[in-house]
């Protein structure tokens, strides 16, 4: 494999990693912001209040999109293995 092919493969790996992780990260971000606003409004400063809703949101997103995420990773792996030069 040439250096260009290796760099393109690395770029594709980063794109797939971002695509797969983005739904989970966005869910945690949105829930974190909502809980922070709730804490600011009610002046409840309990640190554990943010942890449980984030975990639930991430788990629900993972359940909803886990199949798609797995498909993306398997398709990328197939592309990589199919494009390997014969040894």
Domain ranges of the chain: 3-78
CA distance 43 to 35: 11
Q: 43-75: per-residue pLDDT in tens?
A: 888 888 889 999 999 999 999 999 999 999 999
Please state, rounded to an integer, the average pLDDT across all residues of the chain: 92
Q: With a cut of 80, say whether residue 6 has pLDDT above it.
A: yes
pLDDT value, residue 87: 67
Specify the long-range contacts of residues 66-70, CB closer than 8 Å, at least 24 apart. Answer: 69/20, 69/23
């Amino acid at each position: 494999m040439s250096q260009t092919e290796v760099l393109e493969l690395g770029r594709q790996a980063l794109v797939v990693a971002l695509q797969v992780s983005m739904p989970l990260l966005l869910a945690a971000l949105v829930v974190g912001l909502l809980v922070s606003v709730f804490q600011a409004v009610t002046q409840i400063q309990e640190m554990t209040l943010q942890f449980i809703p984030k975990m639930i949101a991430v788990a629900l997103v993972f359940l909803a999109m886990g199949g798609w995420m797995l498909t993306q990773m398997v398709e990328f792996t197939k592309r990589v293995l199919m494009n390997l030069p014969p040894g």
